[in-house]
A = this chain, B = another copy of it.
Amino acid sequence: MALRHAVLAALLDEELSGYQLAKVFDLGMANFWHALPQQLYAELTRLEKDGLVTGREVVQDTRPNKRLFTVTDAGLVELERFTEAVTKPSAIRDDLLVKVRAADHVGAEALIGQLTERAGFAQAKIDLFEKLLHTMRGGRTEEEFLRYGDRVGPYLTCLRGLAFEQGNRDWCVRAASALRERAACRSRG
């Protein structure tokens, strides 16, 4: 059981349809969880069957009808249980790390290219997360918001996402420059 609780957590803040969920899910989880629409639809069906969420049909004239889902009390209990349960630390998986691991045995140019590309990607995420955080805390400072704001959950996860992408960017830049310098030394000597 894994995606279940991520979906439950995503539905806490707002009533969503499967389609809407599919659009906001990845980003709402600050990129710490990813799922395809099909998985989300399937999970919503299961969750409803188990009584952890309820769906209500919303008839629309101009668009296809949709079903909006809300977390039930049983769903909240399940989330509480999940929160108390121990979970093993994050399973991360990144192709780029595998590539860098092999850095001494493959061409440096390709690797530097990938690192640079990823750094750019990370920077875009950073900008996005910073904007999101700014919006969430409104006029307040971070300290104020964390103390007195409501719904700090999404804010905190977003903070982790931001730090992660900063880590990504900084490391990519550093690794790329290290590889460039080595290449320069090699060609000189």
- Choose the segment among A49-57, A59-67, A98-106 that binds chain B (4+ C-beta atoms closer than 8 Å): A98-106
A45 within 8 Å of B by Cβ?
no
Query: Quick one: given A114-B83, A159-B174, are A103 and B32 in contact (CB under 8 Å)?
Result: no
How many of A's residues come within 8 Å of B, CB to CB? 74
Q: How many copies does the complex hold?
A: 2
Query: Taking A148-B185, A164-B164, A178-B146 as contacts, is the C-beta distance between A2 and B95 under 8 angstroms?
Result: yes
A83 B111 Cβ-Cβ under 8 A: yes
Please classify the interface of chain A as helix (H, G, I), strand (E, B), loop, or mixed, using the class held by over half of its residues.
Answer: helix
Cβ–Cβ contact A157 & B106, under 8 A: no
Q: List residues of A whose CB falls within 8 A of some B CB.
A: 2, 5-6, 8-10, 12, 28-34, 76, 79-80, 82-84, 86-107, 110-111, 114, 117-118, 121-122, 146-148, 150-154, 156-157, 159-160, 163-164, 167-168, 170-171, 174-175, 178-179, 181-182, 185
